Amino acid sequence: MSRQDHIREFAAKALTEGRVDYFIGWKQGHNASEVVPAFVKEAAAVDQLVWNELCHHNLVTFLKRNMPDPAGAKIGVCVKGCDSRTLVALLQEELIDRDRLYVVGVPCDGIIDRRRLEKEFADEIVAVSCSDGRVSVATRKGNEKEFAKEEVLLDACTRCRYPNAVYADDVAGPPVPEPDRDGAKPDWSDVAGYESLSDDEKQATLEKVYSACVRCFACIHVCPVCVCWDKCVNRSRQPELVEQKVGTKQKLLFQMIHMFHVAGRCPSCGACDRACPVEIPLYLLHRKMNKEIYDMFGFEPGTKLDEKPVFQLFDVNDRFGD
């Protein structure tokens, strides 16, 4: 039985038994190259649910928004490993109610970076399929190419340490092999390039990178652990902490606030990066924060239900400062 069949079965059962009012998964988008979030309300409709290498959306983000809507709704949701960490981060802070959730963990072999594929073609991609480690891509004008899957994976997947959900009520099929986490520290080599820059180069780089930001707020809307929502300091006009004026200053300040607010809860799932219309490398920047937090506390956000995020705690024996 495929993972997709498992998901459909779990969803149908939960809906039939009234365990959930609706079930959030993935379904095919407007063509065979894209997958979009699906909200399934009836058991008869579960056949639209899919699971494949395009299911990049972190569906936990709908919990942060929809938990109170409608008030008391019971929600089923599919999570990959990285998604489950954002869910655990929300649970650690009691920002969502565990009793109203039904979580299906989907063991994940890695998700395809659609943007990487788009760069390989001059026209629009209409179909992406994957089998036996090969990814076949077709475009509207009939161009076709094949790639090795490892070459077109998301950056978040190539260094993933938690491919199986860290928290789930049911699991869609057998788990995928876990990397040796005890024996190996996280691999931060992806941020080494940035770190090797001089102070001046860093500033110039960030200014250049963030000057493209249009402050559409897609990154913070899609971020599952960015939760203040209607009270966001970035949009507050009274007091006006981040000015409405459009400039690199404001953009950079806005992003640094986001980085700080999700510090200790963001597992660098990369959802923000994928949502950004101007391709700001948000994933890498959040990785850098995660690296520092790991360095400070040996802490990996959202991995254990009985932990609290490190910035909500203290230890009198902390060795920081002079």
Binding site for ligand SF4 (CB under 6 A): 86, 213-219, 222-226, 262, 266, 268-272, 275-278, 280, 282, 286
Token pair listed for 253: 């300040």
Pair 128, 118: CB distance under 8 Å: no
- Decide: is 237 part of the binding site for another protein (CB under 8 A): no
Which of ligand SF4, another protein, none has residue 132 at its interface (CB below 5 to 8 Å by kind)? Answer: none
Least distance to another protein from the beta carbon of 33, Å?
27
> Binding string to another protein for residues 149 to 188, with x set by CB under 8 A, is what?
----------------------------------------
Residue 175: Cβ within 10 Å count: 12
Token pair listed for 67: 């938990």
Which of ligand SF4, another protein, none has residue 228 at its interface (CB below 5 to 8 Å by kind)? Answer: none
Which of another protein, ligand SF4, none has residue 266 at its interface (CB below 5 to 8 Å by kind)? Answer: ligand SF4
Which of another protein, ligand SF4, none has residue 292 at its interface (CB below 5 to 8 Å by kind)? Answer: another protein
Radius of gyration over every alpha carbon of the chain, rounded to an integer in angstroms: 20
Pair 78, 24: CB distance under 8 Å: yes
- Decide: is 246 part of the binding site for another protein (CB under 8 A): yes
> Binding string to another protein for residues 193 to 212, with x set by CB under 8 A, is what?
----xxxxxxxxxxx--xxx
Q: Output the CA torsion 156→160→163→168 (10° steps).
A: -80
* CA neighbor of 166 nearest in space, from 154, 155, 175: 175
Query: Residue 4 forms beta bridges with which residues?
Result: none
The SS3 of residue 126 is strand
In whole angstroms, give the CA distance from residue 93 to residue 89. 7
- List contacts with another protein (CB under 8 A): 197-207, 210-212, 214, 233, 241, 245-249, 251-253, 256-257, 259-260, 263, 278, 288-289, 292-293, 296, 310-311, 314-316, 318, 320-322
